[in-house]
A = this chain, B = another copy of it.
Amino acid sequence: MNTTKNYHMSADEFRKQGKQMIDWIADYYENVEKYPVLSQVQPGEISDQLPPAPPADGESTEQIMADVNSVIMPGITHWQSPNFYAYFPSNTSGPSILGDLLSSGLGVQGMIWATSPACTELETRVMDWLAAMLQLPEKFRSDSTGGGVIQDTASSAALSAVLAARERKTNYQTNDSGNTGQLVAYISNQTHSSLEKAVKIAGIGRNNLRLIGVDEHLAMRPDLLEAAIRDDLQNGRIPFFVCATVGTTSTNAMDPLTEIGQLCRKYDLWMHIDAAMSGTAAICPEYRHLLNGVELADSFSFNPHKWMFTNFDCNCFYVADRSVLIKTLSILPEYLKNRATESGAVIDYRDWHVQLGRRFRSLKLWFVIRHYGVNGLRYHIQEHIRIAQQFASWVQASAEFNLSAPVPLNLVCFTHKNGDDFNRLLLETINKTGKMYFTHTVVDGRFILRMCIAQTGTSLAHVRQAWEMIRQTAEELERNKQ
């Protein structure tokens, strides 16, 4: 009999507080449009309301939730608002929240197969499901030479790709002896900053990262890529890695995968494809062509946590040859040895990424795919694209605004004709109202507005309202100017 004191939350209390939290979340989604989308607080404003010292004695969940409502909520920028159009989305859904809750409840740490076989085997299966949904080539499947793993973010996936490429090119000697300064990687000048970060982390150095020029659609130019590779070869450097992007962050530009892939084959470079947001579109047959050329790639990654109703963090990273990735990242200390690992019959995902420990993240993805079904997911992705194209057509039809880049999917880049300062003022004026939140990019020195349409609850009505607000605010600003 255990007669000791106990500060743990009782099962009854957990049931009570848990159900109140579920209601709190449901209420939140029903009222999310009442909050200012972009938090309006000033630096330090939240911090100033938080006690400088931790409480000596425990407090009730009611007290904590009172502070969530009064202190935390004003400091939230509402990513789940249907009026959130900033950056890239990070959308979620009921089934994802439930799957993630189950993962928290089970509290499983799936570093190796033995520490929860279901954590590993469900992940492998769900990743093969997604490979089928995206029509990825056979080689990316776990029942072939490759396979997929859930990582936290596209940044970590990119780093894993750079490392595997580095080791393959140097016969695994860099892991042993360190980098020698001859390796060179290639991205376009529109590629996500995570690639520069990965190259720095991997000890390659950003001076050995070539930023290849782009065409008029901001897609990487294969001719410039090949020229750069040849130039480096002539100078005794060792080209080893290219990242091609399906949907750049700035403008959703699409790099020509097939041409880049052929160059990678010709010069024996690792080809990584970063399709962080836009990869999801390829689950729709009419957008699968965006991935044409993936058959030439060595690795591929996209984020269901961006545009597939699965909450952060959930990046899906595929490799064509898992043995290279595993050989690059494998460690096996004595205290992790076990018969299943030694038998070679199982996957130990700790050897597929930087971290050792791992959460049961496939649960939320499994819940999402089963709740929506492939058809349900396709429907909502198609709807987002349809709505974004509508928005783009309004921009095109207007006399004051212009599209600033092609709109292949759900990201609309546009400007008001009045120039950079006016566009910046327009953006800040609207975001300050809290009624919607969108962001900007800069292309060729020009300040460009970005509307990314991908929140779970966003409908045509929301986007129409957004367009009206942008139009009217521009009119008012112009009137005030005169």
Contacts and interface: CB of A to CB of B under 8 A. Distances in A.
Interface string A447-461: 000100000110111
A236 interface: no
Given A47-B124, A121-B50, A311-B104, A356 B11 contact: no
Nearest to A18: B22
Nearest to A17: B98
Most buried by B among A39, A312, A345: A312
Contacts of A355: 152-153, 155-156, 313
Interface string A385-407: 00000000000000000000000
Given A19-B19, A122-B50, A312-B359, A94 B203 contact: no
Contacts of A346: 43
Nearest to A106: B76
A128 B208 CA distance: 39
B174 A205 contact: yes
A80 B94 contact: no
Contacts of A56: 373-375
A207 B177 contact: yes
Interface in A1-43: 1-2, 4-5, 7-11, 13-15, 17-19, 21-26, 28-30, 38-39, 41, 43
Given A26-B11, A106-B28, A181-B180, A335 B87 contact: yes
A171 interface: no
A144 interface: no
Contacts of A442: 334
A203 B206 contact: no
Contacts of A115: 77, 79, 86-87
9 contacts: A9-B94, A14-B97, A75-B118, A79-B107, A90-B107, A96-B104, A107-B311, A156-B355, A178-B204
